[in-house]
């Protein structure tokens, strides 16, 4: 282990401590549960806050306190997380934590210019993150170091550990056998402040993988297929545990990619048992000491044999996928669960009138540009060069980390892409999060792009609602970018080369790990000061990018009455609809400014329009944020109504803080995505669900809303709301909630942070 590496002594001691306690905790859990255990249970029980195994928790229902081992934050969410942490009254983080600058970097011309421009444009934010990290003992990864999840996989993830991160794709670390969960910043504050972290004990979905990937099929296709089976809601409240021979045959980064996109099916997280491929990856990334420690407790780092032999008895749901038969998939457009096997794409596209001419192929996003991915995709690019083909679509690549980029460059992979005129963007999120200066996007033309990212919600990559974005494996992105045709099936189809000949692309090949080992000159890490007490964190009062937080007001103890309906959102309302990313990322540290994007992407159920709602005070129609600000100024509370899986997608707590800041008191929906529901609770909002879904239809545009029994707010007791219509009639609607005693405390205090502050002040 290299002492200058970011992997500090602090971590190895922490990992030892986890492995020391694991055997006894697993044994105790096995005896109280009274049956063999899945891997997920072993990790969860090992990380119980009080360490006390007790009778089986009710899966999907019991709130349980956990003690995660570490925290990771990315720049776009770290700002809010750390602005909150600064208020928690602590000198230092209680567990190893890192901040990663990856989201705020534009993709335009290519890495060197783009990175320079982004350093200028977002320097204030990067400096803020660097100085807060330095002060509070947080490891800092500077812009260009890589995408948080690739960097975590390379440096911090370890089998059997538990981590949380302020990004929904934190789940990526499941690829190394962790239970890694995406959360809002307020949850991260709990753990960094040394407090317990609460989660509903998850349900368990087992995915048995048999066979072996072959030909054009890649790890990405496993999750594209699973997404098709489970849909964007099917994993809600569950850990997806992969096992079987097929699982063991996958590379560690491939496993990471599968776990990663578990976020797209709403899963709490996904994980794989420790095996040889994970061990190989640990050793290849300079962590032989971790592999040795893991080998000592190897049997605890995977599910019990009985579980995997009879999974139906131990998991709530079991899915089986035979990798021998799995076809490459392309998912989309507009939702990541619309799964189409490559062989059916042409017919699907024609039937649905999706443009088949592909304008851009993009490789990147989390671990979708690992060394293995770049190696396999470059093998396709190389064939194109050798066979006299050019890309018909534009082609761009964001390597996953500087270590991956440097190594891929040394091994000639980057050069191959460049021979094909690909643009190499920064080691960062780039187009995946809308940080893409795509020429012509403002014309809003109907067009198709294909990428290896996870998400393809409307407007996500380039802001154009008419861009049809499709998700596929990196190697398939390369093939389709070369053909320029969404319907191209490389398994059967040929392409015409510069001599007019018909040529075929052979199936991709590529090393799982670099034969000559990984290398890097500057990995981009900056260790924090050992004593940060003298460091001053400066936030300028006139800054447009950063704003210190003012506490939200506590509940006044009264029923909320006379509230107005701000918007009844129709259909899909993801966090991208509630708090758009792209250009708005620049305000992630400034609550007032970013609130101007509040719900601007949500579809108004009464008009099917976006960002146009009725202001009940003036009778006029206006933008959602402006209307909310008018209600707030008039002292009128408001509420938001929504459909199913409201708040799907990202972990960004801005989607909860903005409405809170703008005076919204409650969000009443058919169902919530997990992270968003917690974020609402943490920020002192009421997150409620219709007891009778059909009541959604009763809500009218001019409604005034009164809570009838909020003063009796108690766990397990539904709330009663009156919707008074303009004709004087009213509907009484029952709303369920999942608040426990402590969470009701957050609501009463105005936010969870207000409680932490009050505690800190007592000491």
Residues with a catalytic annotation lie at 102-103, 167, 455, 650, 652
The one of ligand SF4, ligand MIC, none whose footprint includes residue 186, by CB under 5 to 8 A per kind, is none
Q: Single out the residue of 301, 432, 668, 756 in contact with ligand SF4 (rule: CB under 6 A).
A: 432
Q: Single out the residue of 22, 189, 326, 429 in contact with ligand SF4 (rule: CB under 6 A).
A: 429
In contact, 180 and 188? CB cutoff 8 Å: no
Cα–Cα distances (Å) from 104 to 77, 271, 582, 618, 637, in that order, read: 11, 29, 9, 39, 34
Cα–Cα distances (Å) from 217 to 250, 281, 323, in that order, read: 12, 21, 8
CB of 629 to ligand MIC, least distance (A): 23
Torsion angle of the four alpha carbons 79, 81, 83, 88, in this order, in degrees rounded to the nearest 10:
-160
Residue 257 vs 743, nearer CB to ligand SF4: 257
The span from the CA of 574 to the CA of 261, in Å, is 16
The span from the CA of 448 to the CA of 469, in Å, is 6
The span from the CA of 426 to the CA of 412, in Å, is 18
The one of ligand MIC, ligand SF4, none whose footprint includes residue 366, by CB under 5 to 8 A per kind, is ligand SF4
For residue 154, which of 136, 139, 172 has the smallest C-alpha distance?
A: 172
CB of 435 to ligand MIC, least distance (A): 10
CB of 645 to ligand MIC, least distance (A): 15
CB of 652 to ligand MIC, least distance (A): 3
CB of 649 to ligand SF4, least distance (A): 10
Residue 303 vs 336, nearer CB to ligand SF4: 336
In contact, 441 and 351? CB cutoff 8 Å: no
The one of ligand SF4, ligand MIC, none whose footprint includes residue 147, by CB under 5 to 8 A per kind, is ligand SF4
The one of ligand SF4, ligand MIC, none whose footprint includes residue 95, by CB under 5 to 8 A per kind, is none
The one of ligand SF4, ligand MIC, none whose footprint includes residue 77, by CB under 5 to 8 A per kind, is ligand MIC
3-state secondary structure 699-710: CCCCCEEEECCH
* Residue 666, helix vs strand vs coil: strand
Is residue 454 close enough to count as binding ligand SF4 by CB under 6 A? yes
The 698-717 site mask, x for binding ligand SF4 (CB under 6 A), equals --------------------
The one of ligand MIC, ligand SF4, none whose footprint includes residue 253, by CB under 5 to 8 A per kind, is none
For residue 421, which of 361, 492, 333 has the smallest C-alpha distance?
A: 361
CB of 530 to ligand SF4, least distance (A): 30
- Interacting residues of 759 by C-beta distance below 8 A, sequence separation 6+: none
The one of ligand MIC, ligand SF4, none whose footprint includes residue 76, by CB under 5 to 8 A per kind, is ligand MIC
Q: Single out the residue of 72, 380, 420, 433 in contact with ligand SF4 (rule: CB under 6 A).
A: 433
Residue 370 vs 651, nearer CB to ligand MIC: 651
- Cis amide linkage into residue 333, ω under 30° from 0: yes
| Number of residues in the chain | 763
Residue 129: φ, ψ to 5°: -65, -40
Q: Contacts with ligand SF4: how many residues (CB under 6 A)?
A: 14
Alpha helical stretches, state H, 595-669: 624-633, 654-661
Residue 438 vs 652, nearer CB to ligand MIC: 652
Residue that is written with structure tokens 């909860």 in the block: 656
Is residue 469 close enough to count as binding ligand SF4 by CB under 6 A? no
Residue 683: φ, ψ to 5°: -90, 10
Is residue 69 close enough to count as binding ligand SF4 by CB under 6 A? no
Q: Which residues of 352-383 are buried (b: 16+ CB within 10 A; e: fewer)?
A: eebbbebbbbbbbbbbbbbbbbbbbbbbbbbb
Is residue 268 close enough to count as binding ligand SF4 by CB under 6 A? no
Is residue 590 close enough to count as binding ligand SF4 by CB under 6 A? no
Residue 15 vs 581, nearer CB to ligand MIC: 581
The span from the CA of 437 to the CA of 400, in Å, is 20
Residue 263 vs 319, nearer CB to ligand MIC: 263
Residue 103 vs 737, nearer CB to ligand SF4: 103
In contact, 297 and 190? CB cutoff 8 Å: no
Is residue 585 close enough to count as binding ligand SF4 by CB under 6 A? no
Q: Single out the residue of 41, 124, 130, 167 in contact with ligand SF4 (rule: CB under 6 A).
A: 167
Is residue 173 close enough to count as binding ligand SF4 by CB under 6 A? no
CB of 78 to ligand MIC, least distance (A): 9
Residue 455 vs 737, nearer CB to ligand MIC: 455
* Residue 624, helix vs strand vs coil: helix
> Looking at 135-143, 379-387, 429-437, 721-729, which segment touches ligand SF4 (CB under 6 A)?
429-437
Cα–Cα distances (Å) from 12 to 69, 77, 162, in that order, read: 11, 27, 14
Pairing mode of beta strands 358-363, 394-397:
parallel
* Residue 174, helix vs strand vs coil: helix
Which DSSP string corresponds to 98-115? EEE--TT--BSS-HHHHH
Pairing mode of beta strands 203-210, 317-322:
parallel
Residue 73 vs 83, nearer CB to ligand SF4: 73
Residue 429 vs 666, nearer CB to ligand SF4: 429
The one of ligand SF4, ligand MIC, none whose footprint includes residue 438, by CB under 5 to 8 A per kind, is none
The span from the CA of 276 to the CA of 278, in Å, is 5
Residue 271 vs 367, nearer CB to ligand SF4: 367
Pairing mode of beta strands 563-570, 704-707:
antiparallel
Q: Contact residues for ligand MIC (CB under 6 A)?
A: 76-77, 103, 167-169, 182, 433, 455, 581, 649-652
* Residue 493, helix vs strand vs coil: coil
588 Rama class: left (phi>0) / alpha (psi -120 to 50) / beta: alpha
The one of ligand SF4, ligand MIC, none whose footprint includes residue 652, by CB under 5 to 8 A per kind, is ligand MIC
Is residue 451 close enough to count as binding ligand SF4 by CB under 6 A? no
CB of 683 to ligand MIC, least distance (A): 15
- Interacting residues of 21 by C-beta distance below 8 A, sequence separation 6+: 46, 51
Q: What is the DSSP letter of 468?
A: E
Residue 420 vs 581, nearer CB to ligand MIC: 581
The one of ligand MIC, ligand SF4, none whose footprint includes residue 451, by CB under 5 to 8 A per kind, is none
The span from the CA of 124 to the CA of 142, in Å, is 13
CB of 193 to ligand MIC, least distance (A): 21
The one of ligand MIC, ligand SF4, none whose footprint includes residue 133, by CB under 5 to 8 A per kind, is none
In contact, 105 and 81? CB cutoff 8 Å: no
The two three-digit tokens of residue 383, written as one number: 């064939």
The span from the CA of 595 to the CA of 578, in Å, is 10
Is residue 365 close enough to count as binding ligand SF4 by CB under 6 A? yes
Is residue 122 close enough to count as binding ligand SF4 by CB under 6 A? no
In contact, 211 and 247? CB cutoff 8 Å: no
The 141-160 site mask, x for binding ligand SF4 (CB under 6 A), equals ------xxx-----------
CB of 459 to ligand SF4, least distance (A): 14
Which residues in 98-117 contact ligand SF4 (CB under 6 A)? Answer: 102-103
CB of 456 to ligand MIC, least distance (A): 11
Question: Which residues contact ligand SF4 (rule: CB under 6 A)?
Answer: 102-103, 147-149, 167, 169, 365-366, 429, 432-433, 453-454
């Amino acid at each position: 282990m290299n002492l200058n590496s970011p992997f500090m002594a602090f971590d190895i001691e922490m990992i030892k401590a986890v492995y020391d306690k694991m055997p006894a905790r697993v044994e105790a859990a096995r005896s109280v549960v009274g049956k063999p255990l899945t891997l997920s249970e072993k990790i969860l029980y090992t990380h119980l806050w009080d360490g006390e195994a007790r009778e089986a928790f009710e899966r999907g229902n019991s709130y349980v306190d956990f003690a995660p081992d570490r925290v990771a934050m990315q720049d776009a969410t770290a700002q809010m997380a750390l602005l909150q942490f600064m208020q928690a009254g602590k000198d230092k983080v209680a567990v190893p934590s890192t901040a990663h600058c990856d989201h705020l970097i534009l993709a335009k011309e290519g890495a060197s210019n783009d990175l320079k421009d982004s350093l200028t444009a977002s320097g204030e934010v990067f400096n803020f993150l660097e100085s807060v990290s330095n002060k509070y003992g947080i490891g800092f990864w500077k812009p260009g170091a890589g995408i948080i999840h690739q960097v975590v996989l390379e440096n911090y993830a370890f089998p059997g550990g538990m981590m949380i991160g302020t990004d929904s794709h934190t789940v990526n670390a499941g690829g190394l056998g962790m239970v890694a969960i995406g959360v809002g910043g307020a949850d991260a504050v709990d753990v960094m402040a040394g407090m317990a972290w609460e989660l509903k004990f998850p349900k368990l979905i087992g995915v048995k993988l048999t066979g072996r990937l072959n030909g054009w099929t890649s790890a990405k296709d496993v999750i594209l297929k699973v997404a098709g089976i489970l849909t964007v809601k099917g994993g809600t409240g569950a850990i997806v545990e992969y096992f079987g021979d097929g699982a063991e045959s996958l590379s560690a980064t491939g496993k990471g990619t599968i776990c990663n996109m578990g976020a797209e099916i709403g899963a709490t997280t996904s994980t794989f048992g420790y095996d040889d491929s994970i061990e190989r990856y640990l050793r290849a990334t300079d962590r032989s000491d971790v592999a040795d420690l893991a080998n000592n407790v190897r049997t605890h780092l995977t599910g019990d044999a009985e579980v995997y032999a009879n999974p139906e008895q131990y998991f709530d749901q079991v899915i089986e996928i035979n990798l021998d038969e799995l076809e490459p998939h392309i998912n989309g457009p507009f939702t990541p669960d619309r799964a189409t096997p490559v062989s059916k794409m042409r017919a699907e596209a024609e039937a649905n009138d999706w443009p088949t001419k592909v304008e851009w192929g993009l490789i990147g996003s989390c671990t979708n540009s690992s060394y293995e991915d770049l190696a396999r995709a470059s093998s396709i690019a190389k064939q194109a060069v050798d066979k006299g083909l050019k890309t018909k679509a534009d082609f761009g690549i964001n390597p996953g980390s500087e270590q991956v980029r440097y190594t891929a460059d040394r091994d000639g992979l980057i050069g191959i892409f460049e021979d094909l005129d690909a643009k190499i963007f920064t080691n960062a999120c780039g187009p995946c999060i809308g940080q893409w200066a795509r020429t012509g996007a403002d014309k809003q033309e109907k067009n198709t792009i294909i990428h290896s990212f996870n998400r393809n919600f409307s407007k996500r990559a380039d802001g154009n609602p008419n861009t049809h974005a499709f998700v596929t494996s990196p190697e398939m992105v390369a093939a389709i970018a070369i053909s320029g045709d969404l319907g191209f099936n490389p398994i059967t189809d040929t392409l015409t080369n510069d001599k007019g000949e018909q040529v075929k692309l052979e199936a991709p090949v590529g090393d799982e790990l670099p034969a000559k080992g990984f290398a890097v000159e500057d990995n981009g890490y900056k260790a924090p000061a050992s004593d940060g007490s003298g460091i001053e964190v400066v936030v300028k009062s006139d800054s447009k990018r950063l704003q210190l937080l003012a506490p939200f007001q506590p509940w006044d103890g009264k029923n909320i009455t006379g509230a107005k309906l701000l918007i009844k959102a129709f259909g899909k309302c993801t966090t991208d609809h509630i708090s758009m990313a792209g250009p708005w990322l620049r305000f992630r540290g400034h609550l007032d400014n970013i609130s101007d994007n509040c719900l601007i992407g949500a579809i108004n159920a009464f008009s099917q329009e976006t960002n146009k709602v009725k202001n009940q005070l003036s009778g006029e129609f206006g933008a959602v944020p402006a209307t909310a600000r008018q209600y707030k100024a008039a002292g009128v509370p408001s509420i938001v109504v929504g459909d199913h899986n409201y708040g799907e997608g990202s972990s960004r707590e801005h989607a909860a803080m903005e409405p809170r800041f703008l005076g919204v008191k409650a969000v009443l929906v058919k169902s919530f995505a997990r992270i968003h529901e917690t974020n609402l609770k943490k920020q002192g909002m009421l997150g409620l669900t219709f007891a009778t879904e059909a009541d959604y239809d009763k809500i009218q545009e001019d409604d005034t809303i009164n809570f009838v029994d909020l003063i009796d707010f108690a766990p397990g007791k539904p709330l009663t709301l009156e919707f008074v219509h303009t004709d004087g009639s009213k509907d009484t609607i029952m709303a369920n909630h999942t608040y426990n005693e402590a969470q009701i405390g957050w609501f009463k205090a105005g936010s969870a942070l207000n409680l932490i502050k009050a505690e800190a002040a007592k000491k």
